[in-house]
């Protein structure tokens, strides 16, 4: 029988754990809670919490509700969200990750110094939107090394990163920008709880014939860590739920490793392991 093992270092980062614990505590006492955006980029976990009474809303919905309670998830929010909540008498449960809050503060300080703010991140991502909001929407978001050629280097530049991006790529971008100007400060704002998973996952992925990487399709961190696994084990497969596994992937394999993103719940990885064991038995 095939050996199936779950990576015990995978699963929620502390910021997501904190947000979910706050949501569950409120739901147990009140029964209903609004959450501004998906509490985590994993549809299965969102569905589990929705059954407990969590209601996902967007920013347009926020403008139209009053006298209620809304959870701010770990990704953080721009200042205008807090202004709308104040105007609409909305009580906020602020579960913004402390790492993200510190990053927001650093971005705001650099913007106050009149630096050009450059953010390495995913355009439209909730965390990135929160960072742009600290600059009056003046920050420039870049995603690729080639993007450094379109930046204005006429005044000091401060480079920041979305907390869940690749450390290696951040430093490549920083090096290219440093070639353009001496007035550049690179701020490594990548969460170490996230970045440390890359070397750990490489070690884990080498141990198995097959890797099943479990993550939500919306998870930026999931895409990065999946590629990390695949870089050392070409037989790495991405699934968002156990039913997506094709059993022919496992033909001839004697070992399967299961791992996931910082937005992947441990219970979902356990379900995935059980799915494989039941199919194999």
Nearest Cα neighbor of 20 from 195, 217, 265 is 265
- Catalytic residue, chosen from 127, 168, 182, 227, is 127
Structure tokens at 181: 């100007």
The residue behind tokens 């050392």 is 232
Describe the strand order of the beta sheet including 3-6 as a list of residue ranges: 3-6, 255-260, 210-214, 236-239
Rounded to the nearest angstrom, the gap between the alpha carbon of residue 78 and the centroid of all alpha carbons in its chain is 17
Alpha carbon 113 to chain centroid, angstroms: 29
- Integer Cα distance of 166 and 163 in angstroms: 9
127 is catalytic: yes
- How many other CB atoms sit within 10 Å of the CB of residue 245? 19
Active site residues: 127
């Amino acid at each position: 029988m095939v050996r199936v093992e779950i990576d015990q270092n995978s699963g929620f980062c502390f910021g997501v754990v904190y947000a979910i614990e706050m949501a569950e505590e409120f739901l147990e006492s009140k029964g209903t809670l609004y959450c501004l955006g998906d509490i985590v980029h994993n549809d299965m976990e969102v569905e589990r919490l929705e059954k407990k009474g969590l209601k996902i809303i967007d920013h347009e919905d926020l403008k139209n509700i009053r006298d209620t309670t809304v959870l701010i998830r770990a990704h953080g929010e721009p200042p205008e969200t807090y202004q709308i909540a104040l105007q609409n008498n909305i009580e906020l449960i602020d579960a913004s990750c402390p790492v993200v809050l510190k990053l927001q503060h650093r971005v705001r300080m650099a913007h106050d110094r009149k630096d050009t703010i450059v953010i390495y991140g995913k355009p439209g991502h909730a965390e990135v939107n929160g960072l742009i909001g600290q600059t009056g929407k003046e920050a420039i978001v870049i995603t690729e090394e080639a993007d450094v050629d379109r930046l204005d280097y006429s005044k000091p530049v401060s480079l920041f990163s979305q907390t869940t991006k690749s450390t290696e790529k951040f430093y490549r971008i920083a090096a290219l920008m440093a070639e353009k100007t001496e007035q550049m400060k690179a701020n490594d704002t990548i969460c170490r709880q996230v970045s440390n998973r890359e070397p750990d996952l490489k070690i884990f992925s080498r141990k198995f014939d097959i890797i099943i990487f479990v993550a939500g399709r919306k998870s930026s961190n999931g895409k990065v860590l999946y590629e990390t696994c695949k870089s050392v084990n070409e037989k790495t497969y991405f699934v968002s739920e156990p039913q997506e596994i094709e059993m022919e992937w496992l033909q001839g394999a004697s070992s399967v490793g299961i791992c996931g993103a910082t937005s992947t719940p441990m219970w979902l990885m356990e379900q995935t392991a059980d799915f494989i064991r039941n199919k194999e038995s």
